[in-house]
Amino acid sequence: MGNFNRRSNTNYEGPPKEFEETVVQINRISKKTKGGNQIRFSALVVVGDRKGKVGVGLAKATDVRNAIRKSISAAKRKLILVPLVGTTIPYSVNEKFSAAKVLLKPAPPGSGIIAGGPMRVVLEAAGVRDAVGKILGTKNKVSNVYATLKALETISEIADIKRK
């Protein structure tokens, strides 16, 4: 007669998360040493609350799980605030990071995010629902994510200057 009051906790996910975490890329890194190959993993993670806060973290560890965990905590330490006008960004912006060049433009409500892979992930995490983006220069996901973040950061810096 003992099990009638027990509940299965297989669907329990814990408390609701403050930020949404998206793994953009996981790389296997091999270093040749005297004792053989040393294998590590690097993880690129985008963290955001879909309300204007977004951050990017890149970290390395000896296994994938630790690399993801470290990059999530790194992303949470480097959050930026993106000023949103309704569901889009206030104005167009061009930005460059390393070889990556990105172009971001506001879009009318209902357009959705018209942008490629890494840029789309960053914009969704930031809470931008309508925007047009173009990635130029390189296909490197790390560079493209950082270039997109830099573009959003420029928008927030100019918004700060206008407030003062």
Q: What is the CATH number of the domain that holds 28?
A: 3.30.160.20
Q: Which amino acid is at 11?
A: N
Residue 14 pLDDT > 70: no
- pLDDT tier for residue 3 given thresholds of 50, 70 and 90: low
Average pLDDT over the chain, rounded to an integer: 90
Identify whether residues 90 and 154 lie together within a single domain: yes
Last-in-domain residue among 33, 51, 77: 77
Q: Give the per-residue pLDDT at 27.
A: 97
Q: What mean pLDDT do residues 99-127 have?
A: 94
pTM: 0.85
Assess whether 158 and 101 both reside in one domain.
Answer: yes
Report yes or no: 92 and 137 within 8 Å, Cβ to Cβ. no
pLDDT > 70? residue 135: yes
Residues 65 and 113 in one domain: no
Query: With bands split at pLDDT 50, 70 and 90, how would you rate the model's confidence at 145?
Result: very high
Q: What is the pLDDT of residues 56-66, one digit of tens each?
A: 999 999 999 99
3-state helix, strand, coil in the chain (%, to 5): 30, 35, 35
Domain span at 50: 20-77
User: CA-CA distance, 2 to 6, in Å (whole number)?
Assistant: 9
Checking if the pLDDT of 7 tops 80, the result is no
